Structure 1
């Protein structure tokens, strides 16, 4: 079964970014996440939807 809740390391790997960058984006509320006992956690579906919104918003910027 695929885990629905991701750690900061897992979300960084998913987004192909450095963990420090993932921490910064989460702290600035630029990616959807929440804290559990001081540790960041991310819902896999929310991250997938966020990625979709980001790619849809950038399509107008792409050359044709």
Structure 2
């Protein structure tokens, strides 16, 4: 089980690590990457996958809505009180 924890923390994964992470076969992942269906890049002649991009891709494909920018709530400012004379 130590290998599974290591996969979850790696930002850049190879085909085997990414296919384990996604729960699909390496052959399927290779086909997806070759067709441009899944976010991937080649380092030399080998496919690499960024975990953050895979997570975003899965969110998009599953219909999960994530805000493009974080929502910041600014507290309402009080008016200054006039000083007593």
Please give the root-mean-square deviation of Cα atoms over the aligned residues, in Å. 1.5
Corresponding residue of 1:36 = 43
Scaled by the length of structure 1, the TM-score of the pair is 0.82
Scaled by the length of structure 2, the TM-score of the pair is 0.63
Unaligned runs of 5+ in 1: 58-64
Unaligned runs of 5+ in 2: 1-5, 65-85
The structural deviation recorded for 1:19 is 0.4
The structural deviation recorded for 1:47 is 0.3
The structural deviation recorded for 1:3 is 1.5
Structure with the larger RCO, 1 or 2 (CA within 8 Å, 6+ apart): 1
Greater share of helix residues, 1 or 2?
A: 1
The structural deviation recorded for 1:10 is 1.1
Larger Rg: 2
Corresponding residue of 1:25 = 32
Moved over 2 A (4+): none
Greater share of strand residues, 1 or 2?
A: 1
Distance 1:4 1:18 in 2: 20
Corresponding residue of 1:51 = 58
